[in-house]
Amino acid sequence: MAEKVLMKGNEAIAEAALHAGCRHYFGYPITPQTEIAAYMAKRMPKIGGTFLQAESEIAAINMVYGVASAGYRVMTSSSSPGISLKGEGLSYLAGADLPALVVNVQRGGPGLGGIQPSQSDYFQATRGGGHGDYHMIVLAPASVQEMAELTIKGFELADTYRMTSMILADGTMGQMMEPVALDLEVKPAPAKPWATNGTKLQREHNIVNSLSLVPDELEQLNFARYERYRTVEENVVMYEEYMMEDADICIAAFGIAARVSKNAINEARRQGIKVGMIRPITLWPFPKEVFRRAADHVKTFISVELSMGQMIEDVRLATECRAPVLLCNRVGGMIPSPEQVLETIQNVVKNGGAN
Amino acid sequence: MIENKRVLLLSGHYGSGKTNIAVNLAMDLKKKYPNIAIADLDIVNPYFRTKDSEAELKTAGIRLICSDYANSNVDIPALPQDLYAITDDRSLRAVIDVGGDDRGALALGRIAPALREENNYEMLMVINCYRPLTRDAESTLEVMREIECACGIPFTGVINNSNLGIETTAEDVLASVPYAKAVADLSGLPLVMTSVTAILAEQLKGQIPDLFPMNLYVESAIR
């Protein structure tokens, strides 16, 4: 087995980014993701990289735009309110088809909210986050090991599809410490013939831009982009199924909610209740097909979320409302307990929802 | 040896395990001395705090000195006003959980002159070779020097708390012994103890000197 180190989720993201060849980080401190910036500040100067604490989140995302244009792997990280500030930049990255990695270690909202964990930026992440028609690849880790692995995956997917990858974590994932194996494989970055890295008098100059004033040309750009998104939907979907073979009840949960739910499922199984879980790892593209198939035998779905019910809409769409989808949630920085999830499962059985 | 000193300061790289050792040391001291306080000086990390153990400390009769905002949803780097009790009331014995790294240790500077003047303290560096930025003696010494510069109190001893969280085995602890010796040699400071969970202490009995068995007070409930 590979040698392990004990890391915080935030540190694992930072270290994995360095493994992936990211040498440019631009950020601004905000709890509960500050350790990413702190780690980068310590490590980047030692390996010839750039750490820069920008004057604001908006400045940081635009610096990301600049480095991405030049063809280098680049990232920024923040937490909920800071991601809102980056919204304009995210849209510009999409409009210019630039690959980048953005990390959101979510905290309770809306507004300035709190500093404790949350998953209430699901809509913002999976629907784009800024203005215009676009998507980001949204990855939802459920362990410190996955924080590292999905960071590398995020860079690779961003390069392959010329999109922004977002790591959608939460305060717990960022702060918790677990052993991590860091001998992770990294695919080298593909050639980027579109990058604005100097013509060397060998080619015409490249232009990276999100401005397009001719309507039918802008329409074509949107069509082409969505053609690419369809490829992503076909090739990139990731999820974990847990005890789903014979499940009458299916829990849908990602990130920290999935870890809590697993405990509840294990206890419910001991009590003879046939319950399983589908854990989306990509939130966009959402694993529609596995939910659609599950609806063939599942009588009731339960969406466990640290929000007022956001992913629940995607579960309903994916299952085409063939079975009821209930919500089990806590918000504002609170986390559902395994007992709360278990009680929700038991109530479904009591009310005949497992038959 | 450290028990003879009135104030025990615990510092180190963040995530090294300071808070848990601090709570265990306070619990241990309470068995011998009536008047024990534990102070949380961490102004950086609002997540894992001494306050997590408030109930256990209260039951044990240990005074908790920490910011009113610790573990609340208020992200304010505030110091508790009764922090001065530690330097003013010399009948009190105190364990101080200093914040992680140089940034966390900065707050200690506020009471450092009084502590130095009284000269009845141990400043202990908690080390963990399984943390990515303190994997060898050289990098650990770098963190030590940064902390000393920030708070103005030089270290007097080292605590080896090398662990991999809940996955820690006796072999992991044994494998960290040469590292701990190297840190002690390089810094010229004594290795005062090796802290492990009570279960591992049982397994390691006789293999490592000065084992400090601990209960885990600060631990994630999520598996």
- In the 3-class helix/strand/coil scheme, how is A89-119 assigned residue by residue? HHHHHHHCCCCEEEEEEEECCCCCCCCCECC
For residue range A256-294, what is the model confidence (pLDDT) as tens digits? Answer: 999 999 999 999 999 999 999 999 999 999 999 999 999
Note the pLDDT of residue B22.
94
CB contact under 8 A, B73 and A116: yes
pLDDT reading at B69 higher than 80: no
β-sheet bridge partners, residue A53: A27
The structure tokens listed for A136 are 């980001």
For residue B185, the SS3 value is helix
Q: Which amino acid is at B215?
A: N
Identify the architecture of domain A240-350 in CATH.
Answer: 3-Layer(aba) Sandwich (3.40)
Nearest CA in chain A to B223: A259
Residue tagged 């053609």 (tokens): A227
Shortest distance between the Cα of A181 and any Cα of chain B, in A, equals 11
Other CB atoms within 10 A of residue B188 CB = 7
For chain B, what are the domain ranges? 2-214
Verify cis geometry, omega within 30 degrees of 0, for the bond prior to A99: no
The structure tokens listed for A269 are 């199984």
Angle value at C-alpha B90, between B87 and B96, nearest 5 degrees: 50
| CATH of region B2-214 | 3.40.50.300
Note the pLDDT of residue A7.
96
Smallest Cβ–Cβ distance between B47 and the set A11, A175, A262 belongs to A175
Contact assessment for residue A251 and residue A304, using Cβ atoms and an 8 Å cutoff: yes
Chain B neighbors of A115, CB-CB under 8 A: 46, 73, 75
> What's the order of all strands across the beta sheet hosting A325-329?
A239-242, A275-280, A249-252, A300-305, A325-329
The structure tokens listed for A342 are 């278990």
pLDDT reading at B80 higher than 70: yes
Q: What confidence tier does B219 reach under pLDDT thresholds 50, 70, 90?
A: low
Element housing B96 (H / E)? strand B93-97
For residue range A119-166, what is the model confidence (pLDDT) as tens digits? Answer: 999 999 999 889 999 999 999 999 999 999 999 999 999 999 999 999
Distance CA A85, CA A230 (A): 28
- Check if B217 contacts A (Cβ < 8 Å): no
Tell me the average pLDDT of chain B.
Answer: 90
- Check if B130 contacts A (Cβ < 8 Å): yes
Q: Which amino acid is at B99?
A: G
Tell me the average pLDDT of chain A.
Answer: 96
Q: What confidence tier does A1 reach under pLDDT thresholds 50, 70, 90?
A: very low
- Check if B179 contacts A (Cβ < 8 Å): no
Residue among B56, B27, B14, B89 at smallest CA distance from B214: B27
C-alpha distance from residue B75 to each of A173, A292, B45, B70 (Å): 18, 43, 9, 8
Identify the architecture of domain A4-235 in CATH.
Answer: 3-Layer(aba) Sandwich (3.40)
Contact assessment for residue A5 and residue A180, using Cβ atoms and an 8 Å cutoff: yes
The pTM for the full model equals 0.92
pLDDT reading at B70 higher than 90: no
Angle value at C-alpha A320, between A163 and A227, nearest 5 degrees: 25
Smallest Cβ–Cβ distance between B75 and the set A31, A179, A260 belongs to A31
Nearest CA in chain A to B130: A5
Contact assessment for residue B78 and residue B43, using Cβ atoms and an 8 Å cutoff: yes
C-alpha distance from residue B220 to each of A69, B165, B166, B217 (Å): 41, 10, 10, 10
Distance CA A134, CA A163 (A): 9
Mean pLDDT across A301-328: 98
For residue range B172-193, what is the model confidence (pLDDT) as tens digits? Answer: 999 999 999 999 999 999 999 9
Chain A neighbors of B103, CB-CB under 8 A: 38
pLDDT reading at B77 higher than 90: no
Distance CA B67, CA A53 (A): 28
Note the pLDDT of residue B2.
76
Number of A/B CB contacts below 8 angstroms equals 61
pLDDT reading at B74 higher than 80: no
Distance CA B14, CA B44 (A): 10
Residue tagged 């997590």 (tokens): B52
Q: First vs last Cα of chain B: how many Å apart?
A: 37
Note the pLDDT of residue B221.
44
Note the pLDDT of residue B75.
66
In this predicted complex, what is the ipTM?
A: 0.86
Smallest Cβ–Cβ distance between B132 and the set A15, A176, A333 belongs to A15
CB contact under 8 A, A39 and B133: yes
- Check if B175 contacts A (Cβ < 8 Å): no
Contact assessment for residue A171 and residue A335, using Cβ atoms and an 8 Å cutoff: no
Q: What are phi and psi of B218, to 5 degrees?
A: -105, 100
Distance CA A16, CA A37 (A): 13
Note the pLDDT of residue A2.
60
Chain A neighbors of B47, CB-CB under 8 A: 32, 171, 175
